[in-house]
A and B are shown apart, each in its own frame.
Chain A
Amino acid sequence: MHMCDEGERSMGKHKLWQSIEEVHGEAHEPVAPEPLLEQPFSRRRFMALLSASMALAAGSAGCRRPDHKLVPAVAAPEYQIPGLPLFYTTAFQHKNAAFGLLVKCREGRPIKIEGNDLHPISAGASTAYAQASLLTLYDPDRIRRVRMGNTLRVPLETALAQLAEALKEEAAAGRLCYLCIEEHCSPSYEALLKALQADFPWLRVVFMPSFLAEHAAAVNAQVLGIDGELVPNLERADLIVTVEADPLGIDRYALWHTRNFAARRRVRNRQEARMNRLVAVEAIMSLTGTNADTRLRMHPAAFEGFLAATLRELARYRSVPPVLLGAAAQVPAAYAEEAARLAEELHQAGERAAVLVGAHLGEPIHALALAINLALGSVGQGKVFDPAYVLPNSHRKQPELERFREELRAGRVGAVLFANVNPEYTADTELRQLLARVGRKAALSLYHDETAQSCWIHIPVAHPLESWGDALAVDGTLSVQQPLLAPLNEGIGSLQDVLIQLAKVLAPERWSEVENYYDFVRRHWRTAYGVDDQQWERVLREGIYRIQRPAPPLRVELNALARAIRPSGLDRSRLLLLVLPSYALYDGTYANCGWLQELPDPITKLTWDNVAAMSPGTAHRLGLKSGDLVRLQQEDGAIIELPVWVQPGMADGVVLTNLGYGRTAGGEVLRNVGQNAYPLLRSGHLGYTAVQLTSLGRRYPLATTQRYHRLQGRPIVQLASLEEYTRPEGPQFHTPEFPGYPGADGRRIPLTIVPPYEYKGHRWWMVIDLSACTGCGACVVACQAENNIPVVGKEQVLRGREMHWIRIDRYYVGPVENPRVVHQPMLCQHCENAPCENVCPVAATTHSPEGLNEMTYNRCVGTRYCLNNCPYKVRRFNFLNYHTDQRPPLEMLFNPDVTVRMRGVMEKCTFCVQRINEAKYHAKDEGRTRVRDGEVLTACQQACPAGAILFGDANDPDSRVSQLRRSDRAYYVLEELNVRPSVTYLAKLWNAPVEQVHQLRES
């Protein structure tokens, strides 16, 4: 009342108040505080007090501001602005392959991983493994404290002192100490290991890869004098022939290969339609095979005959050294007709053709492929197979390992240090038994895994995102691995830091000047590459540093090559088993990562399991169905029990299973997932082996995210052959006819009494190029990381409740024995006439003026009608509280810009609305009214190595999406429903003869 009176009076005198404070000042002055309970107690007063105390008790206490003024820090932490992300460059190493990363940090914690767009390998894209390394960083199962036997919480100093003492004792007794390391591509690490070996003569370093596949290195060493694998540069190839090679899938440089391959598939229009061509020859169904223009299903025993025939046919067009032809003549020809056709094609492509052979295949096949590549001229400086592009540390490791075994057998090994390797899980029985005899074993790793459990000391080392380091990519790009946060494992440094600390204890006089590994890396970069402080900072900022590596002159030992070409005599009559790393978990290193466990295999769409995949023909012959348990037994008695998976497209008589499963220790996630296939490797080598199969007569539930694989003749995926497409009349891609008139975007608008909504500002749009998409699944994990999508576990996937906002639909086209595969990323189509929107009773899902179909989580009551009415079935319902069981520190992983959804709420792709809004704020800050093209990248788009996803503003006529959505390949999935989706698909083109594609389309 008082304030009102004052106000009215001053208004009357035309004396307007100047500020809020003035009004408040006047208002507050006369009110004198009175003691609450000293007045006579009236009923009204009692009620007033009662209600006031109730209101306070009811929870407003937490909302009150403190009584005193809070003073923000004048000297705020450098760089950090609360609420704004910071990006740091670092490097990601996947075994001995590496690429640059850009890590997004919020308030000092990394929350999202992107590829470094300056790095020539990643160019902004990333892989599922790289994305998932973030989850590993915050993995609650990571061990945090040093452990000695059953004693926990040992100080690091104590452990190192005891370890050093033991090592000294062993050395004094004349025994060796072995340091087993995993494959890596870090020059500084290599330098550190060299320095350690130089200082401690009793120390031996041995590479202990999870599996061996060194036939390529063996052939290269004999023929080219290069002990290592040559990584092909697919950018330079017009015709790629893969013989069970999987450059787009399991290859360590799949990211780079996919980028290079897909860059040649994104056809702009009819007039300039040129594509590379991929011919896949394989017995299994690989991701590369699914992307092939022509796929030849072949029994592995025929590979060498086929390649030999091709080489001989090639001699009709080009000069092939007679010694090679002579050697090839020893190999009985197979598939002669196909070989003749292929030879002609290869000859036409010349040095822009390349034959790639799977690492698991034997020497003769590698030798034949090398002979063909040499004949084509695709090996050499600037060619597809460039001698400069040798995969770091891909030399043959078996000799070192053999020596290690010898030393173990001879009892000359006193101590073994396992640095991030897990031989108790990966090694064969003999090696494990030999290792068991070693008394002093120490593990330096992230998890208390099988090997760590067998060790006397276990030192938890820091995660790569917590450690300094460096990495050398195959193209000669160096990058620095920068730590993004202090190690979460009680401050114990990286593996290299621990090794340096150990060296300091062992030989303080020589190692005192090296402060830590960071110091070591800096010194190494200074001495090896001459990088001074200023340059160093630039390297950190950009994340790359190019070094010149002189390519060795190419010399070819033809005789050695001819010697390597010989029939290998794979027994066709037996059932053959092949064990390969899995797409999701690779060799098991990533087994404790829920994102990867739940990432559907790109071919089988299985999660949380490995299977014995076999062709429908083989399964029929053996009377098996998917889900039947079988026992596979090798001749030497190695056994594995696996569920059968009937995989169309595989050759008959072949069984494929994957590594990485069947872990028994090291975390909660990996427990009871699949079976360990390592015992089936022959002395650690990948390759085909004969097995005996017995049905166990039991069933096993398999959690797959896609249960139906046929297009049912529906125009969901549009296909054409390149040849057909380039014809002036071209094929018409799915344009449904209904009465209406053409709209502004070229799509028909059906007759309606409601005029279409006019989008005035931005109009967000996505274009997905099916020709480019290889189905790798990087987008799925990237989306999961960006949008706080929960992992639901096998039981929920079995119930069909996986939560991925983007999925890759995989359809088989053609006969079930030998089908072709199409991959189709499917996500919310943000329909203009969204069927989900009008059925929601509480208006929890609505349309934004920028064309987004928005989901208001806190309004959703969960009727699930929107999910029923979504023709694309891309909505995901939180059937249970999937986030409640998060153990710390996993909550640090959450993207603070995205709501964490509770149970009972619907969710779905938002087109990364948080990123759109961020870009809009930036635009506003810079005084722009519009966001620039390319300023907003959705998480899936950013991760996609194939560049198959494009996002932007369709109202901007110059934006790339505006141009592409008018492409002659554009179509809309289920356009006939008139839901008017905001995602344009570009039809898939196959660089294959018209008849082949027609045949498939009709089948």
Chain B
Amino acid sequence: MQPTPATVATPPHVNGQELQREPLVLGNPTLHDVTEKIAGIAVSRPSWKYWLTLGITGTAAAWGLFCIGYTIATGIGVWGLNNPVAWGWDITNFVWWIGIGHAGTLISAILHLFRQRWRTAINRSAEAMTIFAVICAGLFPLIHLGRPWFAYWLFPYPNQMQMWINFRSPLVWDVFAVSTYLTVSILFWYLGLIPDLATLRNYVKRRIPKALYTFFSLGWVGSARHWQHYEIAYLILAAISTPLVLSVHSVVSFDFAVSILPGWHTTIFPPYFVAGAIFSGFAMVLTLVLIMRWVLNLENYITLKHIDNMNRILLATGMMVGYAYAMEFFIAMYSGNEYERYAFLNRAFGPYGWAYWAMVFCNVAVPQLFWSPRLRRNVVVTFIASILVNVGMWLERFVIITTSLHRDFLPSSWDYYAPTWVEVSIYIGTLGIFFTLFLLFAKYVPVIAIAETKAILPGAQPEHHVVAEAAASR
């Protein structure tokens, strides 16, 4: 079949008018405007709002760290865990944070490979968010141990005990998956930062910041040779990261799927968890980006188009998650396995039914709003929805972990689990750590990839004539 040249060359038309591709950056900034806007954040004095927020998040972080210390000093007994429910908020938070850490790599790596250029406005903050989320996530497997001072025993290393780790345990896979993910995420983020750090190096005047930016920009001068190496390295890292997006959460889901517990032992978990992770990750990116956009006045760089695009992903992944919920029930009923059936009936109608239905509302019902283009571009609705999705995804992990554990095979050991103030405090503490790190990041590191944004400015790329005209008119 020979495609006619007309259909390839002619842009889509509606009512005789050519459809315009929406620009990714508004306000027609010059290259210098972009540098001024974004690099300027690093030299400007932070407002009182910034200090107040940092104070709150820092206090939360400190309180959480104190509670972690209390737990380690006293024992896991200060939490509400009991005999059937040996994992509670600890692993719920772990999986939730890991899930949040998913969007970063997806946006940076997969969207990069697919040449989705709208990603440039949000990829930097999404990647930073990934790293901070994974740090928060990694905290939980560590502190949830009965004897955390022996956590290093989970790593394979030659030792005088001649003991090797048990490679059959999904927890060991977790150690590798999460540490690999963290390493690659940091590398990827840092590599992307190098040209921007060089811009900052050139931009800042004060000595110490300049010295630090100089050190971390690794002698970047922006030569063609540098750019060539950089692009290739970035592409390679993107290719390496892409399978990680799928593998990390698949491996995390193995923690449950490999067990024999009804409600955990299902083959649907890896794709279900990955979809859920992307879902929650995008929700968290939205939450952060909307705040950032408002606080730092980045409306021209993070446009409604970005928000629209992300809401579409929320809608899609939300429905995947909804499908998984339905399919879980169907499999349980269809299997004829009485334990499995009971686990799911108990999930929906047992003592934790409130959590289940709240989860269904947040994760399945709320994203349906985004069928409406108007709501997709409504910042307030998006912000509320993104928070609800975060809540819903937390509840999803809680429901999976707790309802399966609290009533398993022998009714004699069934029990109920509720967290203590210590567990709640530690969770709040990790939120504090996360936002504190993010605030520091927003202040000292370019929150938007300057170099990449310059490349997508109107007229920066060879494009269709209409855009070129617009550039000319400027």
Give chain A's interface residues, CB within 8 Å of chain B: 706-714, 716, 796, 799-802, 807, 809-811, 824, 826, 835, 838-843, 859-865, 867-869, 871-873, 876-881, 902-906, 973-974, 977, 979
- Taking CB atoms, residues of chain B closer than 8 Å to A868 are 86-87, 259, 261, 405
How far apart are the CA atoms of A710 and B412 in the complex, in Å? 8
Contact B409 A714 (CB under 8 A): yes
In the A-B complex, the 4 residue pairs with the smallest Cβ-Cβ separation, listed nearest first, are A862-B146, A904-B146, A800-B82, A879-B77
Q: How far is the CB of A711 from chain B (nearest CB, A)?
A: 7
CA distance A799 to B82 in the complex (A): 6
B80 interface residue (CB < 8 Å to A): yes
- With an 8 A cutoff between CB atoms, is B166 at the interface? yes
Bound-complex Cα distance A716 to B410 (A):
7
Q: Tell me if A863 and B170 are in contact (CB < 8 A).
A: no
Query: Do B169 and A712 have beta carbons less than 8 Å apart?
Result: no
Count: A-B pairs, CB below 8 Å? 172
Contact B77 A860 (CB under 8 A): no
B-side contacts of A973, CB under 8 Å: 410
Nearest chain B CB to A357's CB is how many angstroms away? 33
* Segment of B148-156, B194-202, B316-324, B434-442 engaged in the interface with chain A: B148-156
Asked, given contacts A864-B87, A904-B76, whether A859 binds B260 with beta carbons under 8 Å apart, the answer is no
Task: Kindly provide the distance from the CB of A58 to the nearest chain B CB, expressed in whole angstroms.
Answer: 16
Chain B residues 79-126 with CB under 8 Å of chain A are: 79-87
Report the minimal beta-carbon distance from B92 to chain A, rounded to whole angstroms: 13
A706 CB contacts on chain B under 8 angstroms: 412-413
B contact residues around A811 at 8 Å (CB): 411-412
Q: How far is the CA of A840 from the CA of B412 in the complex (A)?
A: 25
Q: Which residues of chain B come closer than 8 Å to A863, judged between CB atoms?
A: 141, 144-146, 171
**Of B75, B145, B258, B261, which is within 8 A of A880 by CB?**
B75
B411 touching A841, Cβ below 8 Å: no
Residues in B with CB closer than 8 Å to A711 are 411
Partner of B163, one of A709, A710, A843, A869: A843
Name the distance in Å between B203's Cβ and chain A's nearest Cβ: 48
B85, B163, B409: the one within 8 Å of A974 (CB)? B409
Cα–Cα, bound, A217→B342 (Å) = 54
**Smallest beta-carbon distance A229→chain B, Å:** 36
Contact (Cβ within 8 A) A809 B83 = no
Residues in A with CB closer than 8 Å to B163 are 842-843, 859
Contact sample, A vs B, 11 pairs, CB 8 Å cutoff: A711-B411, A713-B338, A714-B409, A716-B409, A801-B83, A864-B144, A868-B259, A871-B408, A902-B147, A906-B146, A974-B410
In-complex Cβ contact of B338 among A714, A835, A865, A879 (8 A): A714
Additional A-B contacts beyond A711-B411, A843-B163, A876-B83 (10; CB < 8 A) = A708-B412, A709-B411, A714-B338, A839-B171, A842-B165, A869-B259, A869-B260, A871-B408, A879-B76, A906-B146
A881 to B146, CA, bound (A): 11
Chain B residues within 8 Å of A861, by CB: 145-148, 150-151, 153-154
CB distance from A440 to the nearest CB of B (A): 50
B67-79 contact mask (Cβ, 8 Å, vs A): 1 or 0? 0000000111101
B172 within 8 A of A: yes
Q: How far is the CA of A381 from the CA of B354 in the complex (A)?
A: 68
Contact A867 B170 (CB under 8 A): no
**Docked complex Cα distance between A879 and B75 (Å):** 6
Q: How far is the CA of A859 from the CA of B259 in the complex (A)?
A: 21
Point out the residues of chain A lying under 8 angstroms from B338, CB to CB. 712-714
- The CA-CA distance from A871 to B141 in the complex, in Å, is 23
Kindly provide the distance from the CB of B450 to the nearest chain A CB, expressed in whole angstroms: 43
Known contacts A839-B258, A865-B169, A872-B409; is-contact A800 B147 (Cβ 8 Å)? no
Report how far A903 CA is from B75 CA in the complex, Å: 7
Q: At the interface, yes or no: B421 with Cβ under 8 Å from chain A?
A: no
Selected from A712, A838, A974, the residue in CB contact (under 8 A) with B166 is A838
- Decide if B410 touches A877 in the complex (CB within 8 Å): no
Contact B171 A860 (CB under 8 A): no
B231 within 8 A of A: no
Q: Does B175 contact A (CB under 8 A)?
A: yes
Q: State whether the Cβ of B225 lies closer than 8 Å to any Cβ in chain A.
A: no
Q: Which chain A positions have C-beta within 8 A of B171?
A: 839-841, 863, 865
Interface residues of B in 221-265 (CB under 8 A from A): 255, 258-261
Q: In the bound complex, how far is the Cα of B85 from the Cα of A904, in angstroms?
A: 15
Residues of chain A with a CB closer than 8 A to B339's CB: 714
Chain B residues with Cβ below 8 Å from A810 are 412
Once A864-B86, A877-B86 are accepted as A-B contacts, the answer to whether A842 and B146 lie under 8 Å apart by CB is no
A796 lies within 8 A of B146 (CB): no
- B207 at the A/B interface (Cβ < 8 Å)? no
Taking a contact as CB atoms under 8 Å apart, the answer to whether B83 and A905 are in contact is no
Q: How far is the CA of A811 from the CA of B153 in the complex (A)?
A: 41
Q: Assess whether A826 is in contact with B169, with CB atoms less than 8 Å apart.
A: no
Of B146, B261, B407, the contact of A864 (CB 8 Å cutoff): B146
B164 at interface by CB-CB < 8 Å: yes
Cβ–Cβ < 8 Å partners of A876 in chain B: 83
A875 to chain B minimum Cβ distance, whole angstroms, is: 8
B371 within 8 A of A: no
Q: B206 in the interface, Cβ–Cβ < 8 Å?
A: no
Question: Contact: B146 with A809, CB < 8 Å?
Answer: no
B415: Cβ under 8 A from any A Cβ:
yes
Residues of B contacting A712 in the complex (Cβ-Cβ under 8 angstroms): 338, 342, 411
B168 at the interface (CB under 8 A from A): yes
Q: Report whether B82 and A801 are in contact in the complex, using a CB–CB cutoff of 8 Å.
A: yes
- Evaluate whether A879 and B81 lie within 8 angstroms (CB atoms) in the complex, with A800-B415, A839-B171, A903-B146 already known: yes
For residue B51, CB closer than 8 A to chain A, the reply is no
A864 to B151, CA, bound (A): 13
Q: Is the CB of A873 within 8 A of B83?
A: yes
Query: Is the beta-carbon distance between B415 and A707 smaller than 8 angstroms?
Result: yes
Q: Is the CB of B410 within 8 A of A838?
A: no
Say whether B215 faces chain A, with CB atoms less than 8 Å apart.
Answer: no
Residues of B within 8 A of A867 (CB): 83, 86
Q: Residue A839 contacts which of B145, B164, B170, B409 (CB distance < 8 angstroms)?
A: B170
B window 380-437: CB within 8 A of A: 405, 407-416
Which residues of the other chain, B, contact A873 by a CB distance below 8 angstroms?
83-84, 408-410, 413
Q: When chains A and B are docked, how far (Å) is the Cα of A716 from the Cα of B411? A: 9
The contact of B411 among A710, A838, A843, A903, by CB within 8 Å, is A710
The docked-state distance in angstroms from the alpha carbon of A899 to that of B79 is: 26
Q: For chain B, residues 168 to 200, give those with C-beta under 8 angstroms from any C-beta of chain A.
A: 168-172, 175
Q: With the chains together, A872 CA to B408 CA distance in Å?
A: 9
Bound-complex Cα distance A860 to B412 (A)? 26
CB distance B145 to A881 under 8 Å? no
Q: Which residue of A lies closest to B405 (CB)?
A: A868
Q: Which residues of A contact B141 (CB under 8 A)?
A: 863
Interface centre among A801, A811, A877, A879, by most chain B C-beta atoms within 10 angstroms, is A879
Closest to A879 in B: B77
* Residues on B with beta carbons closer than 8 Å to the beta carbon of A871: 260-261, 408-410
The residues in B between 259 and 282 inclusive whose CB is less than 8 angstroms from any CB of A are 259-261
C-alpha spacing A76/B262, complex, angstroms? 60
B146 & A839 in contact (Cβ 8 Å cutoff) = no
